[in-house]
Amino acid sequence: MPEFHNAGFRLHFIDEGDPNAPVVVLVHGFASNIRVNWVDPGWVDTLTKGGYRVLAFDHRGHGESDKPREAEAYTPEAMGSDILALLDGQGIERAALFGYSMGARVSAFSALAAPVRFPLLVLGGLGIGLVEGVGDWDPIAEALRAPSLDDVSHERGRMFRSFADRTRSDRLALAACIATSRRELTRDEVRAISQPTLVGVGTRDDIAGSAEELAELLPHGEAFEIANRDHMLAVGDRTFKAAVLEFLDRHRASIES
């Protein structure tokens, strides 16, 4: 897997598809990685067969990338700077951003800060929680620091601890990530994201918040409800794939060279 560097960190990435095709950057969620969030659920295959070049990277603290344990390394702005470094290193002027969960939050901050570089946005697994928050994550940080899963009783803490164990994550790096990565945008900041934006959330997702409420704040927002899917299962849903492809195709000119 190739790598790039930013802010002193080494980060792993993949670059798939036609090198001359419009680019979609995939930004994975908390405690996940390229493989779990994008390769295994079929997104890389779906998008490259759909005529797009796909870049995806392991966030700092995740996957095969470096794993700092200092909370200041994980602000949305700091993590978003990795996306720009990846594009600059590959000589790409603009791309669509597709983030899931925490990756959607980082993508929203990045789209607000650099609208020319990111003229198209897909937010999965995060609705109005981008503004209102996604609940109390302190028990999740405590679960990640616990000696074992058997020591965790908090339901959501157990879910994320189990996921982190399955992905063989650095639990202390993830606990540091929780401290600063979950910062919200204000409603006025969301209203300033003028790019066409698709918001996709599972109807059984009890973390993300309403897709419709967030889409209504966005000047050019669209909501897609992923039927009968929770936060974890919505990622690979085939109807969500179809909706994302249709959205990208409709706005393809905005990311073409």
181 φ, ψ (degrees, to nearest 5): -75, -15
pTM value?
0.95
CA distances, 55 to each of 24, 74, 83, 157, 222 (Å): 6, 21, 10, 31, 24
CA atoms of 240 and 94, how far apart (whole Å): 24
Q: Is 206 exposed, middle or buried (0-12, 13-18, 19+ CB in 10 A)?
A: exposed
**Cβ-Cβ contacts under 8 Å for 9 (sequence gap 6 or more):** 60, 65, 66, 68, 73, 82
Q: Would you say 125 and 109 are in contact if contact means Cβ atoms under 8 Å apart?
A: no
| Domains assigned to the chain | 3-132+187-252 (3.40.50.1820)
Using the structure block, give the residue that is written with the tokens 């000119």.
Answer: 253
Q: What is the DSSP string of 149-190?
A: GGG---HHHHHHHHHHHHTT--HHHHHHHHHHHTPPPPHHHH
257 residues of the chain, pLDDT tens digit each: 799 999 999 999 999 999 999 999 999 999 999 999 999 999 999 999 999 999 999 999 999 999 999 999 999 999 999 999 999 999 999 999 999 999 999 999 999 999 999 999 999 999 999 999 988 888 999 999 999 999 999 998 998 899 889 888 999 999 999 989 989 999 999 999 999 999 999 999 999 999 999 999 999 999 999 999 999 999 999 999 999 999 999 999 999 98
Half-sphere exposure of 167 (CA within 13 A, CB side): 25
pLDDT at site 66: 98
Q: Would you say 111 and 40 are in contact if contact means Cβ atoms under 8 Å apart?
A: no
pLDDT at site 53: 98
